[in-house]
Structures are given as C-alpha cells and as structure tokens.
Amino acid sequence: MIAVAAFVLGVLGEDGDVPISLVDRALALNPSFGLGWYWSGVLRIIAGYPDLALEHFETFLRLSPRERHSAHLTGIGMALFMKRRFEDAAAKLLGSLERVPNFTVSLRFLAACYAHMDRLEEAREIIERLRGITSVVIGGATFLRNPEDRELLLSGLRLAAREAK
C-alpha cells in the first residue's frame, strides 16, 4: 500500500521527494513487488530521472513477465523521449497506442517525438487525433518536475500543433 500511496501522491503533484521516498521504502520492504517498480519508474520520469526510470521499468518487466499493459510502454517511451532517443520512444509509444488507442499521454509524447524528428506530417496527424479526443491538446505538462523535460515536450507539441493548423 505504501507504493500505491507514493504513486498517487506523485501523480497528484506532491513534492517529488515524498513520493520517491515512499516508493523506495516500499521496494526496500518488498523488492519483489513488480508493480512497485513500475510505479517507481513513473515517479522517476516525473522527477526527471529517465535512466533510473528505464532501470525500474526493466525490473518491473523481469519480475512481472505476464503483467503487461500499455502503460509500461508509455513509461518507457516517455523516458526514451527525455533521453532524446526519439525513434526508440516513438516505437514504444506506438506499441502502447496499439493497446489503448486514445491514451492522451502516449499521443502527446508521440506527437512531440515526431515533431522533434522533423516528421511534421505525422506529428500533425497525431495532433488532429488528439483534438478528436480532448480540447486540451498541449496543456502545461506541469507533472514533469524538470524544466528541461517539460520544455522538450512542450516545444515538440507547439511545433506539431503549429503544423496542424
């Protein structure tokens, strides 16, 4: 339950150190809790630690080989995006969208990936798809604590949205 509380606090915008401390404590108590490693990966993305996030997602996948849902692909894609590995990120995000086609987080990161790869036609198509789902295409990305990560996402979305007009 500690890991669940950490995840909720992190997603709701609690100070980044509190959720990470909680999830670290949960994993120290039960290092075999696969889903805890997934949640820790998400919290590391939010906090701006994509390398550590990728390590934690790998641990999740190793500990929970049958527990597959699109969210882990989105998390891996987000971490790869922040490392500016846009081609690899796009592949993971597309895999996520095959399972959950209207997941707005995956769509936003994919549009930004395409924009940063100068694949503006594809970025525009993703923005149009987002517009069919939500009126908030860009948003503030305030969940990302690292200003550089936030700006990388937002600059890609602005470029993609500008091309989509």
Helix (H, G, I), strand (E, B) or coil at 162: helix
Both 104 and 48 in one domain: the answer is no
Global pTM value: 0.90
Same domain, 15 and 87: no
Dump the DSSP string for 9-53: HHHTT--THHHHHHHHHHHHH-TT-HHHHHHHHHHHHHHT-HHHH
Q: Looking at the structure, tell me whether residues 100 and 48 fall in a common domain.
A: no
Residues 163 and 125 in one domain: yes
* 29 lies in the same domain as 81: no
Tens of pLDDT, residues 39-54: 899 999 999 999 999 9
Is 154 strand, coil or helix? helix
- For the stretch 59-96, pLDDT in tens is 999 998 777 666 889 999 999 999 999 999 999 999 99
pLDDT tier, 130 (very low <50, low <70, confident <90, very high otherwise): very high
In this structure, are 26 and 104 located in the same domain?
no
The pLDDT, as a whole number, for residue 94 is 97
144 contacts 109 by C-beta, under 8 angstroms: no
Place of tokens 């696969």: 34
Given 37, 68, 99, the domain boundary residue is 68
Position 4, amino acid: V
Same domain, 59 and 102: no
Cβ contact 75:53 at 8 Å: yes
For residue 46, give its domain range.
1-68
